[in-house]
Amino acid sequence: MDDDYEDETGSTIEEDYYTFLNVPRNATTEQINTAYRHLSRIYHPDKHVADVRKKIEAEALFNRLKTAYEVLSDPHKRAIYDSLGVKGLETDGWEVTLRQKTPAEIREEYERLAKEREERALQQKTNPRGNVTVMINATEILCPYYDEFDEKILPTVEVSGISMSQSIDAPITVRDTVTLSGSLSSQKGIGNGAFSVSGRRLLNKGWVAVDLTAGNGPSLGVKGSRTLSQKVFANFGAGLNLRSNGIVPTFMSSDFFLPPKKTALACQLGKHTVGYLTYNLAGSARSMSTTVEQNTDRHHFQVTLLLGIPHCYISAAYTRKLLDQELKLRVATKVGTFGVLAEYGAEKKISKYSSVVATVSVGVPTGVTLKLK
């Protein structure tokens, strides 16, 4: 039964349980019980079986009576109601509130839970995502360079690059969402940045999005996904980049690290296993890759074979998820025409919405790189 009512002006008025039971706010338990028994005999639906309209009205009043009695007869609920009203009783999370708490402590607990509820609602609506990556070159630690004219004692550790990105969603309708995103990066003294506006619409069997990006020349792109059958779906992407030397068309992306976002065709191979086939014509890095990925609550495994220009490689990555510790451990390796690369790292959740990632890469000829994200 809803305990809120509207007056003639449309304002919401909460039910006053004390007034409904006709007892003072400092009423004893005995007074509340007596008032409840008296009003129960008046409003009980069985007393009005002859008149259907009066019976319906009596049922509504009797339900309100029971609600008021359940609250005022329970010392814990009564303390919450006296401090916060009906809205306090409707707040999720009161199971953690001790019955011995004072009204002031109950109000403080209510304000904390209300703030958490507002934060969750904002998080679900806007879905903010931020990322900061720092790349550190520590080659001289493992392979020092000796120079008789260099008097330094400690090896040089170089910050070779840093990148930052941020995005936020703005739901327009149930099906339409606008995403604003921006990124900044600097590597070896060369900076780069981009700002993007994307509009995405959900369809019956997938979604489609249009991107407008300003950065290294304006660009316009279209991407989407569609379910072809129960186990097969396809992603696509194409765009036009306006450069100083003309318009450059692109198809898909040259980044294969996240197959679900970059693939052209995917097939569900098992309960936790998916296969991806990607054909890429983005710029000069043209390639075709095949990826098999398995993802469960405890682990994630991925194998990729890529054939392309200018490089070909095979890679494998394994991630162990330690849910109790909110920790992920990852190892990966990549072997190809460019050389050999091995990685190991960890991701730790440090707060409700933040995580820190540390990855060490050892490769030939790239050397040793530490990435902090």
Beta bridge partners of 133: 163
Q: Is the pLDDT of residue 119 over 70?
A: yes
- 201 token code pair: 């619409």
Least confident of 14-18, 181-185, 189-193, 261-265: 261-265
The reply to whether 309 falls in a domain is no
Q: Is the pLDDT of residue 8 over 70?
A: no
What amino acid is encoded at 153 in this protein? I
Least confident of 112-126, 265-279, 281-295, 348-362: 112-126
Q: Is the pLDDT of residue 147 over 50?
A: yes
pLDDT digits (tens, 9 = 90+) for 127-136: 888 888 888 7
Q: What is the CATH number of the domain that holds 84?
A: 1.10.287.110
Least confident of 93-102, 245-254, 276-285: 93-102
The reply to whether 50 falls in a domain is yes
Whole-prediction pTM: 0.58
Q: Is the pLDDT of residue 261 over 80?
A: no
The reply to whether 29 falls in a domain is yes
pLDDT digits (tens, 9 = 90+) for 65-77: 898 898 888 887 8
The reply to whether 236 falls in a domain is no
pLDDT of residue 368: 80
Neighbours of 253 (CB within 10 A): 21
DSSP for 26-44, written as a single string: T--HHHHHHHHHHHHHHH-
Q: Is the model more confident about 13 or about 25?
A: 25
The reply to whether 70 falls in a domain is yes
Count the domains in the chain. Answer: 1
Q: Is the pLDDT of residue 340 over 90?
A: yes
Per-residue pLDDT, averaged over 287-309, amounts to 92
Query: In degrees rounded to 5, what are phi and psi of residue 171?
Result: -65, 130
Interatomic CA distance for residues 150 and 191, integer angstroms = 30
CB 341 within 8 A of CB 350: no
pLDDT digits (tens, 9 = 90+) for 98-107: 455 666 676 7
pLDDT of residue 95: 47
Contacts of 290 (CB under 8 A, 6+ apart): 275, 276, 277, 278, 304, 305
Closest-CA residue to 167 (of 127, 194, 134):
127
Percent of the chain with pLDDT over 90: 27
Per-residue pLDDT, averaged over 61-90, amounts to 82
Range of the domain at 39: 4-121
